[in-house]
Structure 1
Amino acid sequence: MSMDSNGLPPRNQGDQKSPSKMKQDSPQKKKRQSPFRKLMKLIMVLVILGVVAGGGYLYMIYNNVIKTGTDLPVAAENSAKVKPLTMLILGTDYREETNSYLTDVVMVASMNPATDSATLVSLPRDTLIQLNGYSQRKLNAYYPRFKVAEKESGITAEEEMRVMLSKYLDLDIDYVTVLNFQAFSDAVDALGGVDVNASQNMCYRDTADGTNINIKEGPQHLSGDEALDYVRYRKSNCDPKTPASDDFSRNQRQSEVLQSMMDQMKSLGGIVKIGKVVGAVSDNITTTVESDQVKNFISAYWDMSKDNVNFVPVTGTWNSPYVYINQNELTKAKEALAQELAGEHVFVDSTSSE
């Protein structure tokens, strides 16, 4: 055993306490944290959680988008985040039991990321199309005819509709998106339903395809199937009958439902609802938009206010079996679409007549 200088064995090191150690062992008063600092810490934790959760949901959304769009590349200068773009939106009555592709909804949208705004023009489904190079018929009859001719012509029905409506509206349409009834219903359900204010009672039953429309007048919250009934309603076969509805009223209801869907999207958890909507419609949608471009659209417009959306329904005169478009309204609609692309978001009063 070694000895120290005084001849005694060294002390056990565990028994020695340094001044610093002694300080640590002595009781200390805890520093009290101010309520403000506690609050700031809580806020930071919530922010971090929000960013992580939001990022996770965006990742989930983007994975769903991959299944929705095409796999073609998108040049940076053509990204929806920097370039104004146009889209033709068609809503078809396709269901397995009917196998029909009549387009009950025909809309054309111009979108501008610089103004974070859009103009949406809706055309009556029974519009008589008189256009060089095309046989005269109702607007909603062209898409199913183009579908039949696809194999022989080698041109998709979506591309045929894009070219035709581009000529009709004097506008170069970039993309086409086609949704069927199920996609519309599923999208509304994914958002938790929509709020509308029905101007009248609506009643129609068809045992052939299971249609059972029964909507009462007044404010109400509709599920996906009920919202579909609301925008589809044309006439009554019930007892007692309810008033019929023309193309113009249907277009107004379509705009009402779209605005309500935007309200639902902007409510708490909107980013979560986007993921649900994309996932819900992916199996019932056909689009020419590239997958990466769909992501660009989401990034550019997901938080757009409905106040920045200009709904321009075009009307006309009903003379069975056609709607003869009001040319003054059509001209205003064309101008509104073009102005949106140019960065001029101008609201249009489409109630005037020739």
Structure 2
Amino acid sequence: MSITSSRRTTSTRRRDGTRDDEGDGSRRQGDTGDGEGERSRRRRGGQEGGAGGSRRGGRDRRRKRGGRGRTVLALCLSLLVLVVAGAGWLYMRLNGDINTFDAGGLSDNRPAAGSSKGENVLVIGSDARTGGNSALGGGDQNDIGRSDTAFLLHIYADHQHAVAVSIPRDTLVTIPPCKLPDGSWTETQTDKMFNAAYSVGGTTEGNPACTQNTVENLTGMRVDHTVVVDFKGFAALTRVVGGVEVCLPNDIYQRDLNPNRTVRGKMLFAKGPQKVSGQQALDYVRIRHGIGDGSDIGRIKRQQAFVSSLLTKVKSNGLTPTKLFPLADAATKSLTVDPGLGSADKLISFAMSMKDIDLHNTKFITIPWRYQGERIAIVEPDADALWAALRADRTLDGKDASGRKNAGAQPSASAAPDPAATVSGAGLSVAVYNGTTVTGLAGHAASVLTAHGFTVTGTDTARSQDHPDTRVEYGPGQEATARTVALLFPGAQLASVTAPGVSVVLGQDYADSPAAKASAPPVPVPSSVADSARSADDNPCSDLSYG
């Protein structure tokens, strides 16, 4: 039946007294007895009523218009209900997809939360093969979960700058006590590869809390959030944004991705710029051989270039809730996060908080490193200077990004003079050891020494962590240097030892001192770190040496 004929039928039924006002039983009964009389009166009213009949006609027309208005309003309200219900359904769907790890595995001995409004987010790329990931990355789905890549993202307090510090998986670090699946805790492990922290406990899902503990112990910075992305999540993200621009310095073949192949295989990537997504994007960031020097450092540089390009694409698409919903939908299916990000609104709110960060002010660097055999050692005091700068919300080029008013103001001339202000350590070397359980203490002391011109040869944990007092130990012929060092640590004891050099063993007295609790003096990030930084807006074809 056509729309026109349907309307005619409805109109006829309404003129029929037996069908008018069908929900009212008493009215229907009266109409049945006097239907014809009612029609006659209506006709007479139309003929005899004169102006009154016209007024009634006008009211009838207004009622019709009013009915149409109510219909439109009802339709709008219905659409609004559907939109709200759809948004609610999507939130429920996103919430149902988010996995969180047990916060009970986080250390009780964490760095204190800073006064800064900045945030530190640990991003871990997992090569776990569970949940269908083996189809993308190969391998046994029952393998122990491992971290394939990781970086610490520091969002400065002004929310206009950010820096991502990559930590190579082969970096030698100290893994602090971590929780095992049976509820017990491990002992501290020294000189272990960084990615071993994620495998503590031997589960297929991995141990994000242990990796977070390790990063906090390494940096002396509190990690506010941890996000783990697996193969599926990564591939889905690249598809949702419509592909990511990359650039290759040479052709890449199947054997470059899997060096165990006996033949070169087909070409996976051609030399030059191109767009990749899904499995191809995953292959790109995993390639280690056949490009650059074949090292993990080279692969990290390539991954940094990829994430830079991904951020550029996301920003160009627009950081709005509408644009973020598809991203969140794709990501949450394969994300594991800390409980602080365990809901859709928290994730989207966090993403929206970064919308004002300029791409040029988003930097990617690698922790200061050097080769130690086949492993990677952290270079000090460069790393300590980097962490100190981030804790103070200073950018790689030394700018204050704390967002505080008058942050760069100098103290007034009437301020009490610092008795250690004239200490100069130019040409003097010293090592720093933390003899307490307070994390980040050695890095803080190293920053103080570096600010006074000393060369800090390294920082580490002392053999025991129950030192009540700070000691400055010195070898033969080093007493004068030791006394100069002691000027920066009031009350420190001098101790002669047989080993050469000078070292500071920090005690609980230093941890409790105002100097340790005050923010560290601004220390510039070493040029070797700052000069190698990559900006998110850099051309993807720039710096293609990749190690």
Shorter chain as normaliser: what TM range? 0.5 to 0.7
Supply the distance in 1 between the matched residues of 2:388 and 2:374 (Cα, whole angstroms).
28
Q: Write out aligned runs for 1:237-256 (5 A).
A: 243-256=292-305
Q: In 1, distance between residues paired with 2:391 and 2:300?
A: 21
Q: Determine which of 147, 159, 168 is the counterpart of 1:115.
A: 159
Unaligned runs of 5+ in 2: 1-43, 59-78, 103-115, 177-187, 395-399, 404-521, 533-547
Q: Does the aligned pair in 1 maintain the 2:328–2:348 contact within 8 Å?
A: no
The residue correspondences of 1:155-194 to structure 2 (distance < 5 A) are 157-194=207-244
Over the matched positions of the two proteins, sequence identity in percent amounts to 21
Q: Which amino acid aligns with 1:108?
A: L
The 3 A distance-change label for structure 1 pair 71 and 183 is closer
Compared CA separation, residues 291 and 167, structure 1 to 2 (3 A): closer
Q: Quote the offset at 1:128 in angstroms.
A: 1.7
Q: CA deviation at 1:169?
A: 0.7
Greater Cα offset, 163-172 or 119-128: 119-128
Asked if 1:259 corresponds to 2:293, the answer is no
1:198 aligns with 2:248: yes
Compute the displacement of 1:296 (Å).
3.0
CA spacing shift, 1:233–1:127, aligned 2, 3 Å: same
Deviation (angstroms), 1:222: 0.5
For residue 122 of structure 1, report the CA deviation from its aligned partner.
Answer: 1.0
Write the deviation string for residues 94-118 of structure 1: whole angstroms up to 9, x where unpaired.
2243324332211112235752543
Distance 1:243 1:290, change over 3 A: closer
What does residue 173 of structure 2 align with?
A: 129
Contact between 2:145 and 2:202, CA under 8 Å: does it hold in 1? Answer: no
Give the Cα–Cα distance (whole angstroms) in 2 for the partners of residues 258 and 274 of structure 1.
17
> 1:59 and 1:215, CA in 2 relative to 1: closer, same or farther beyond 3 A?
same
> Which ranges of 4 or more aligned residues in structure 1 deviate by more than 6 Å?
52-55, 345-348
Q: How many Å apart are 1:276 and its aligned residue? A: 2.6
Q: 1:201 to 1:169 in 2, by over 3 A?
A: farther
Equivalent position to 2:194, from 135, 139, 151: 139
Other structure's SS at 2:370 match: strand
2-side partners of 1:243 and 1:136: how far apart?
28
Where relative contact order (Cα < 8 A, 6+ residues apart) is larger, the structure is 1
Whose Rg is larger? 2
Give the 5 Å matches for 1:23-172.
60-61=90-91, 63-70=93-100, 84-95=118-129, 96=134, 97-98=139-140, 99-112=143-156, 114-130=158-174, 133-144=188-199, 146-148=200-202, 157-172=207-222
- 5+ residue gaps, structure 1: 1-11, 25-48, 73-81, 237-241
8 A contact 1:92–1:105 mirrored in 2: yes
TM-score in terms of structure 1 length: 0.67
CA-based RMSD:
4.3
Matched with 1:8 is none
Deviates more, 1:227-236 or 1:344-353: 344-353
Structure 2 vs 1, CA of residues 150 and 264 (structure 1 numbering), >3 Å: closer, same or farther? Answer: closer
Deviation at 1:306, TM superposition (A): 4.8
CA 1:212 to 1:121, structure 2 compared with 1: closer, same or farther past 3 Å?
Answer: farther
The alignment status of 1:223 with 2:270, answered yes or no, reads no
Give the aligned residue type for 2:159: T
Rounded Cα–Cα distance in structure 2 between residues aligned with 1:141 and 1:123:
13
Per-residue CA shift, 1:249-308, capped at 9, x if unaligned? 222222222222222222346544532333223343222133566523422433344524
Give the TM-score taking structure 2 as reference length. 0.46
The match for 1:325 among 371, 378, 381 is 378
C-alpha displacement at 1:182, in angstroms? 2.2
